[in-house]
Amino acid sequence: MGPPRRRVEEMVALMEAGVLEVLGSEPALELGEDAWIVKPNKIPREEVEVRTIIDAYVPPPNLIHTDDSLLRYMLEHGHFRPHKIDGIETGAVEITRSPYHVIDKQGVAHARCFAVGVPTEGVHWVTTVGARPCVGAASLTDSDAIAQAALRQAATDQAAARRGLLRGVRG
């Protein structure tokens, strides 16, 4: 997990050369006369003055605070609900086991709506990891399960439409 090995080696080289210093997460910052005064909160060290700050923090995905208009709409209209563990929201969309149907605000799995990848971070972990050759990549097996379920549902819908039991679907 994390950045490619080459990038880590480059970062270590910059640190060893005295060009880069890691100050930890959530530091307190003050603007001095000619530099920033950084007071680390998460690591034991004295405050330091720096001229340049690079914020490399990547926030975790969070359904409640998403900028994605589709996800926000679906949440606000009850089409799905946040995933919780012991009453604490994880930031993910609540889903069933494979093939990962979304669960609406009443707790009902939606037959035609699925979620995979980043919106499920919290139910599943490390959802941004890409597939590698010769490995049973979860992203591919999950997507395959969803595709198969969607095709089965489409066939069921078409059969129901032919019998006049479902509108809006061509048989």
Whether residues 42 and 69 fall in one domain: no
pTM above 0.85, yes or no: no
* Residue that wins the pLDDT comparison between 151 and 137: 151
Whether residues 70 and 151 fall in one domain: yes
Q: How many domains does the chain have?
A: 2
Q: What confidence tens digit (pLDDT) does each residue in 63-98 have?
A: 888 889 999 999 999 999 999 999 999 999 999 999
Whether residues 38 and 67 fall in one domain: no
Whether residues 95 and 143 fall in one domain: yes
Q: What confidence tens digit (pLDDT) does each residue in 12-21 have?
A: 999 999 999 8
The pLDDT of residue 18: 92
Whether residues 86 and 142 fall in one domain: yes
Q: Is residue 168 part of a domain?
A: no
Q: Is residue 170 part of a domain?
A: no
DSSP string over 58-88? -PPP-GGG---HHHHHHHHTTSS-EEEETTE
Range of the domain at 12: 5-50
